[in-house]
Structure formats: structure tokens, C-alpha cells
Amino acid sequence: MGLTAKIRTRDGWAVSHAVVTVTDMTGTQVLRAEADAEGAVRDATALAPGAYTVIVTALGYAPVASSALVTASGRAELGAVTLARQGGTELPPPGPWTIDPAHSSVGAVAQHLGISSVHGRFTDFAGRIEIAPDEVEKSRVEAVIRATSIDTGNGMRDGHLRSPDFLDVEKYPEITYRSTGLTATGSDRWTVHGELTLHGVVRPVDLDLSYLGTGPDPWGGTRAAFRATTELHREDFAMNYNQVVQAGIAAIGTTLKVELDIQAVQGESLPEA
């Protein structure tokens, strides 16, 4: 006898802080139960046969109300109840996530001679994401990139990018990003507000972030995928070098389009693979 239910997010994750309230047809509360760590509700309170209203609530999620029919056995089985993030916004389960550099990429695109693009990437980086359990806007991300790991596929060009004309990797070996806030812009889109430290200069930089979903990996872990983009201007970070070729065309454009494809593993560290 009693009430059973499983409270889940749209991705199938347990909502461990959900509360289930049951009222009878007069609006009188007859039962209140909390979900356990697995999002399961099991309450042995006997209910009289009949129709009831069940309301499921959880901080940060839109409430769900439904009808339930209690049988002669005094039992009501709700099955799986899905909660959507408040405002329709979704993120992975709360807690720490570690960025996996082996399955992530940090790239940038610059215009070359005004007619084509040069693609580069950083091959040495690390980072951590903390998804806040209640107020998602308080989630945080930190990342560190080794500036000397720039790779555009051309050794001479890479050497120039590492020089004082651009990254000056001897003086500024690390590029860092620390978030300062998060704003929802859609059902699975966010603006990450943060500060980028590049070439010894600290500037506010916003990332346009898309959450692509979560799933298991072959090593027994759980992964979340994100894609983020932004634009940087070299002069904002005191990288003013430019060679002007004929007709006043700059050899290298001053705007960088940054593209991040990120996989993060749930937990404080990466699994050994």
C-alpha cells in the first residue's frame, strides 16, 4: 500500500530533492513524501480508494500536477514523473565535471589576407565545471590553456604566434578563463559570463554555450557535451602586431572566432583509460 514514483529529469537523471504532495478531491493534503538519492518515492501511508491530485515540486524545476487513482489495495503507482528545468532550461546533473582534453577541442579561426581563413587549435588544456544543484545560474567553469601548445599546422607560423608579437609564451605561459555567471537564452542554450586572461590582459568575455546532452561512456563514466563560441579582438589583449600587404590589406585579421567542443566527465577527475 502507499505511493511509489520515480522523479527524473528529461535526460533521465534522478531529482533527489523532489517533494510529492497528494491532495484529495476537497483539496486537503493527505500525504507528503520526499524522493531519496535515487529520485525514488516510497511511502507506506495507506490511502482510501478514490481519485487524488499529485503535485511534484523541486527547487529549480517547473512543478508537475497530475491525477492519480488509488485502488482498493490502497496503492498508487505513479511510475516515472519527468520534471523540466524552470523556464525549460536543461543542464547536466549537479556536481563537479572534469573536462576531457583527449575528446575536446579548443580552436580559433583568423582571416588571412582578407580572402581565406587560418585555423588553429590549442592541444594542451584542462578545466573543471561545477553545476550548481539549486540555482543553476551559480554554476561555474574554470579552464587553463598552455599558450605554447598553439598548432596551426605550420611550424614557422606557430613559432611566430608564440613570439612576443602575439602570445609571448615565455612571459605569459598560460591562458585562463573563469566564469562569473550564467544566463539562460533558450531550452538548451546559455550565455556564460566570465573573464579571460590572455597575453597578461584580463577582459570580460561571454561564451555562447549549447548543451548537447549526456550519456554513458565505455569506461563506466558519464559524459556531458557542450559547444561554445565567441569572438575576440587581438587589440583588446595588447596583441597589436600586423603586417600590411598591398592595397592596405592586413596579413592577419584582428578578429578571432573561437570554437570550443567540450566533453566533460562526471566527477573530480578523469578515469584511467
pLDDT at position 273 is 53
69 exposure class (CB count in 10 Å sphere: 0-12, 13-18, 19+): exposed
Angle CA 119–122–127, to nearest 5: 135
Residues of the chain with CATH 2.40.128.110: 95-266
pLDDT per residue of the chain (273 residues) written in tens, 0 to 9 = 578 899 988 767 788 888 999 998 888 999 899 998 888 998 888 888 989 999 999 877 788 998 888 888 888 888 889 887 766 566 788 899 999 999 999 999 886 544 457 889 999 999 999 998 877 888 999 999 999 999 999 898 899 889 998 899 999 999 999 999 999 887 778 999 999 999 999 999 999 998 888 877 777 888 989 999 999 988 898 887 664 434 443 456 678 899 999 999 999 877 665
pLDDT at position 245 is 39
Helix or strand (DSSP H, E) at 155: helix 155-162
The Cα 256–Cα 179 span in angstroms is 20
220 exposure class (CB count in 10 Å sphere: 0-12, 13-18, 19+): exposed
pLDDT at position 242 is 66
Terminal Cα-to-Cα distance of the chain (whole angstroms) = 47
pLDDT at position 222 is 87
For 146, the 3-state DSSP assignment is: strand
26 exposure class (CB count in 10 Å sphere: 0-12, 13-18, 19+): exposed
Residues of the chain with CATH 2.60.40.10: 2-87
Share of the chain above pLDDT 90, in %: 43
Sheet holding 75-83, edge to edge: 40-43, 2-9, 75-83
Q: In the CATH scheme, what is the code of domain 2-87? A: 2.60.40.10
Cβ atoms of residues 210 and 188 within 8 Å: yes
The Cα 64–Cα 58 span in angstroms is 10
pLDDT at position 213 is 81
**Selecting from 3.40.50.280, 1.20.140.10, 2.40.128.110, 3.40.350.10, what CATH number does the domain 95-266 have?**
2.40.128.110
The Cα 128–Cα 99 span in angstroms is 6
Q: Is the pTM of this model over 0.75?
A: no
